[in-house]
């Protein structure tokens, strides 16, 4: 049977991730007590219901349950089930904004009558071991629902085969380096379409900008070296048991050069048979 356990910081998008997986055919159970996971797995494995798998959403309201959660995750795997532990992460400032917008309270803030900043600090200490043991970590601080769906789709598609899931992401250095990036490449040294009037308001997804960026011989040489490096490194990542790779490509604003290079790298990795997706974090800023 296929099981996905979603946990992580409150406000980071656990429910949104569950909704996406539900649309993919998974049966989702919110706020599942960790102690009941084993019994449910036994019952569900005997059920004739045709489902892709089961998603358990476990949050910090069960403070004492996270060691039990890790034990139950290991148990499912020992019993021959596929079990993914997915950890949802997000920056504190974004979470605080989300709570203000929804006018809801953080579960620990309400339970212990403490400010949200203290609640988040306490929550992160409780979740530390779960995050360390997670198979996949998704930071939702600066991605859209559509991009979250793409990442989840890539994870679910390849986890059965234990293949690498690669995210190639463009970003603007002026907005900060992606916190989840494993590797970052800076392409600000190449000619910038921003200073060409007819290209300034276009993006790296437009043919005119792409042609301008790729016209640089230095950039063409850089791409070739980047391809060679990734072709060399990715099999070693896999051999070491790392199945989630985030490659950040940055330019000044994340709208032109980084987008072109990200698309080129993503296309190259897909041509090698890797499950790679392209995200453009700052393209609309």
User: Is 0.75 surpassed by the pTM of this model?
Assistant: no
pLDDT bucket at 190, cuts 50 / 70 / 90 = very high
Contact 29, 57 (CB under 8 A): yes
- Domain 2-159 adopts which CATH fold? Rossmann fold (3.40.50)
Contact 130, 123 (CB under 8 A): no
Which DSSP category does 164 fall into? -
**Rounded CA gap, 83 and 54, in Å?**
10
List of residues 6+ apart from 100 with CB closer than 8 A: none
**pLDDT at residue 250 tops 90:** yes
CB burial of 99-117 (b: ≥16 within 10 Å; e: otherwise) equals beeeeeebbbbeeeeeebe
Place of tokens 């059920």: 47
Residue range 207-227: average pLDDT? 97
pLDDT bucket at 268, cuts 50 / 70 / 90 = very high
What pLDDT shows up at residue 74?
80
Query: What DSSP letter does each residue of 25-41 carry, written as one string?
Result: TEEEEET--GGGHHHHH
The helix (H) or strand (E) run that includes residue 145 is helix 145-159
Residue range 196-215: average pLDDT? 96
What does the domain layout of the chain look like in residue ranges? Answer: 2-159, 165-280
pLDDT above 90 as % of the chain = 48
**Rounded CA gap, 257 and 264, in Å?**
11
Tokens of 273: 């048979």
E strands in 149-217:
165-172, 183-186
């Amino acid at each position: 049977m296929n099981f996905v356990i979603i946990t992580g910081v409150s406000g980071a998008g656990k429910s949104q991730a569950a909704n996406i997986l539900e649309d993919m055919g998974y049966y989702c159970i919110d706020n599942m007590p960790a102690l009941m996971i084993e019994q449910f797995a036994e019952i569900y494995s005997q059920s004739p219901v045709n489902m892709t798998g089961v998603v358990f959403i476990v949050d910090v309201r069960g403070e004492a349950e996270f060691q039990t959660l890790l034990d139950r995750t290991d148990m499912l795997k020992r019993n021959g089930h596929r079990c993914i532990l997915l950890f949802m992460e997000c920056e504190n400032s974004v979470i605080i904004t989300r709570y203000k917008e929804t006018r809801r309270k953080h579960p620990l803030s309400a339970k212990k009558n403490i400010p949200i900043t203290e609640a988040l600090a306490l929550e992160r200490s409780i979740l530390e071991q779960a995050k360390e043991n997670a198979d996949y970590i998704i930071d939702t601080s600066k991605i859209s629902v559509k991009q979250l769906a793409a990442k989840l789709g890539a994870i679910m598609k390849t986890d059965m085969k234990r293949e690498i899931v690669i995210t190639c992401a463009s970003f603007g250095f002026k907005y900060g380096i992606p916190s989840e990036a494993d590797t970052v490449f800076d392409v600000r040294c190449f000619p910038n379409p921003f200073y060409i009037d007819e290209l300034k308001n276009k993006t790296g997804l437009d043919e005119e900008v792409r042609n301008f960026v790729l016209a640089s011989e230095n950039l063409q040489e850089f791409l070739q070296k980047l391809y060679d490096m990734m072709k060399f490194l990715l099999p070693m990542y896999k051999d070491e048991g790392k199945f989630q790779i985030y490659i950040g490509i940055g330019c000044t604003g994340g709208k032109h050069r980084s987008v072109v290079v990200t698309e080129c790298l993503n296309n190259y990795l897909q041509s090698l048979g890797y499950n790679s997706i392209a995200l453009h974090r700052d393209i609309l800023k």
